[in-house]
């Protein structure tokens, strides 16, 4: 019997990919319109992943990864910019990213149904505490979640897939491992460790990036969560 459900946020409840690519396209059009868009998006994602990993590994702060990302991309196009200018560029990028936040289909209705069933709901997500709370608030779903069950990596100083972040969430939930369900979109960050801890897990694949032969239960739409929780 499932007594607590945790969700990831980005590309699980909120379409991060859509919002991120919209903001990247804005940056391309505003600053490098003569460059190939496909190449620009690829460069942006590779650079972002490089510095995001350094942040998750505790090597740099959340703001440092933002600044370094912009400095690297601009340097790729032979423009050396100081930290202050890079951060201002990030702030403009953020406006466009936030304007494009959207919930995936069925997110609100599924959270509503689960709340009516009196199942405590939580979040386990990597990222900035301020930004992730804002994402939940701006998309209108913050009140579905029990505050002590909102677990954000920056606040703990621990990032997924470190087992400590999941163990902390389990302690907050005060239920047995087998009574927890976690819904996330990445095998390595979201599925493997909670599965090893004895949690129930389900992989949500909004963007068709996984084969159906992956070792975890696969969902293609959030409304399928309700079939798991009987």
Predicted confidence at residue 150, as pLDDT, reads 98
Mean pLDDT over residues 143-164, rounded? 96
Predicted confidence at residue 57, as pLDDT, reads 87
pLDDT band at 32 (very low <50, low <70, confident <90, very high): very high
- List helix spans (H) across the chain: 16-31, 37-56, 62-76, 83-99, 107-116, 129-138, 153-156, 163-173, 192-196, 225-228
Mean pLDDT over residues 64-74, rounded? 96
Nearest to 124 by CA among 12, 4, 7, 3: 7
Which residues are 121's β-sheet partners?
Answer: 5
Other CB atoms closer than 10 Å to residue 199's CB: what's the count?
23
* Domains of the chain in sequence order: 4-15+102-228 (3.40.50.1000), 16-99 (1.10.150)
Residue 220 dihedral angles phi and psi, to the nearest 5°:
-110, -5
């Amino acid at each position: 019997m499932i007594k607590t459900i945790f969700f990831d946020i980005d590309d699980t409840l909120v379409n991060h990919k859509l919002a991120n690519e919209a903001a990247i396209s804005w940056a391309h059009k505003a600053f490098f319109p003569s460059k190939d868009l496909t190449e620009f998006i690829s460069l942006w994602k590779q650079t972002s992943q490089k510095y995001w990993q350094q942040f998750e590994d505790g090597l740099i702060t959340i703001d440092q990864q933002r600044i370094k990302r912009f400095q690297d991309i601009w340097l790729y196009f032979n423009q050396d910019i100081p930290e202050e200018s890079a951060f201002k560029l990030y702030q403009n990028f953020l406006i466009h990213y936030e304007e494009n936040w959207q919930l995936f289909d069925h997110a609100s209705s599924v959270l509503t149904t689960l709340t009516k069933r009196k199942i405590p709901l939580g979040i386990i997500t990597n990222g900035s505490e301020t930004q992730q709370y804002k994402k939940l608030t701006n998309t209108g779903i913050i009140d579905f979640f029990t505050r002590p069950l909102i677990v954000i990596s920056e606040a703990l100083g621990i990032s997924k897939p470190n087992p400590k972040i999941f163990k902390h969430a389990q302690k907050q939930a005060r239920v047995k491992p087998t009574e927890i369900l976690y819904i996330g979109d990445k095998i390595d960050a979201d599925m493997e460790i909670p599965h090893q801890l004895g949690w129930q897990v389900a992989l949500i694949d909004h963007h068709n990036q996984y084969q159906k032969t992956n070792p975890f239960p696969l969902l293609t739409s959030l409304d399928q969560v309700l079939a798991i929780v009987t």
